[in-house]
Amino acid sequence: MTPADRPWEETKVTQNATQTVAFIGLGNMGREMAHHLLRAGYSVNVFDLVASACDALVQDGATSSLNVADTVRGADIVISMLPNTPDVQSVVYSRDGILANPPRGKLYVDMSTISPEATRAMALDLSSAGIAMLDAPVSGGPIGARNAALSIMVGGQKYAFERALPFLKAMGQTISHVGEIGAGQTVKLCNQLICAVNIQAVCEALALGRASGVELEQMREVLLGGSAASWMLDKLGPAMIAGDSSAGFRIDLMLKDLRLVLEMAGQKDVPLPATALVTAQYVEARAHGEGSNGNQALFRVYDRMTGQDAVRVMDAGIR
């Protein structure tokens, strides 16, 4: 079907064109999400510290600005997708930031994974300038972002959520308002805790299976048909077995998230022994230069603990 066959979609795109989105942070996630806003017909103005990150979006019809103030000024909604808490704080508090340069629509949605506590503090400061803030972190990774299939967990005031919803719908499939400001980050950190502990469980099973001489791909397939099935075994298992550490959600980013989980657990007096253990393994992975590798590289920790690395080095020497 061509757009002419779908007049209702054309109407939506035309209506959306009157609304402007400022999008800040065009990395693995942000660039895909900003593209979907463009496709939905919104006018999109983008900014990234690395200017070349804006190129593909500008080619597809976005505009770009040289600083945060110019990016956000005429925006109905500002969205950020940045690595860590200090990056979001700099977008809010710097001289050319959102607080000193309120956007036209006075609505700011941070979709990064950052500290819930820092989020609440920023929301309070922004409210003094009449700007409503939502925290809306996501799950689904770059593939979910590419397919506009993200799960989005949103904290903040209900009226602000309702205003942001049409924009969020362009990027995600499961969108839930989970409570007050900071609640989105809390839910996201619980998500990360489950992911990391599950990755560790998959690594342990593969390490034991390998040491016992079973065929790992066959083991993975049969386990996926039973009660041990998981997203991690399904999606990360093949790369672990193949020794492919390259693409995906970076070890560095998961370590950042696990530290946020432990910080929150400390504040709430909740012991999280499994999270503490897997965090130590992520620190080990990073110390061995795996920070930019995908999360499946956690299996390399088990390579080292089981002497598998030494076997590979010896094999290479013999050949």
As a whole number of angstroms, the distance between CA 27 and CA 308 comes to 34
CB of 141 to ligand NAD, least distance (A): 4
Instruction: Determine, following the binding rule CB under 6 A, whether residue 87 of this chain makes contact with ligand NAD.
Output: yes
Cβ closer to ligand NAD: 43 or 80?
A: 80
For this structure, is 188 an active site residue? yes
Distances (CA, A) of 246 to 157, 215, 250, 294, 298: 39, 23, 9, 6, 12
Instruction: Determine, following the binding rule CB under 6 A, whether residue 291 of this chain makes contact with ligand NAD.
Output: no
Point out which span in 84-92, 163-171, 261-269, 296-304 binds ligand NAD (CB under 6 A). 84-92
**Contact present, 103 and 78 (Cβ < 8 Å):** yes
Instruction: Determine, following the binding rule CB under 6 A, whether residue 209 of this chain makes contact with ligand NAD.
Output: no
Q: Which residues, 250 to 289, sit near ligand NAD by CB under 6 A?
A: 253
Q: Which two tokens stand for residue 151?
A: 């799960």
Exposed/middle/buried for residue 78 (C-beta within 10 Å: 0-12, 13-18, 19+):
buried
Which residue has 């996926």 as its token pair? 224
| Of the residues 81, 122, 223, 264, which one makes contact with ligand NAD according to CB under 6 A | 81
Instruction: Determine, following the binding rule CB under 6 A, whether residue 29 of this chain makes contact with ligand NAD.
Output: yes
Identified catalytic residue from 12, 188, 235, 256: 188
Point out which span in 12-20, 123-131, 136-144, 177-185 binds ligand NAD (CB under 6 A). 136-144
**Contact present, 8 and 36 (Cβ < 8 Å):** no
As a whole number of angstroms, the distance between CA 173 and CA 152 comes to 8
| Of the residues 74, 141, 179, 209, which one makes contact with ligand NAD according to CB under 6 A | 141
Instruction: Determine, following the binding rule CB under 6 A, whether residue 69 of this chain makes contact with ligand NAD.
Output: no
As a whole number of angstroms, the distance between CA 196 and CA 215 comes to 24
CB of 208 to ligand NAD, least distance (A): 28
CB of 219 to ligand NAD, least distance (A): 26
CB of 304 to ligand NAD, least distance (A): 25
Point out which span in 19-27, 157-165, 216-224, 260-268 binds ligand NAD (CB under 6 A). 19-27
| Of the residues 57, 72, 78, 91, which one makes contact with ligand NAD according to CB under 6 A | 91
| Of the residues 90, 151, 198, 308, which one makes contact with ligand NAD according to CB under 6 A | 90
> What φ, ψ does residue 15 adopt, rounded to 5°?
-65, -45
Angle between helices 116-127 and 85-93 (to 10 degrees): 10
Query: What secondary structure does DSSP assign to 247-270, as a single string?
Result: SSSBHHHHHHHHHHHHHHHHHHT-
**Contact present, 264 and 284 (Cβ < 8 Å):** no
Cβ closer to ligand NAD: 114 or 132?
A: 114
Distances (CA, A) of 290 to 10, 74, 261, 297: 46, 41, 21, 7
CB of 234 to ligand NAD, least distance (A): 16
Residues that bind ligand NAD (CB under 6 A): 24-30, 47-50, 53, 81-83, 87, 90-91, 112-113, 138-139, 141-142, 249, 253
Residues annotated as catalytic (active site), given as ranges: 188
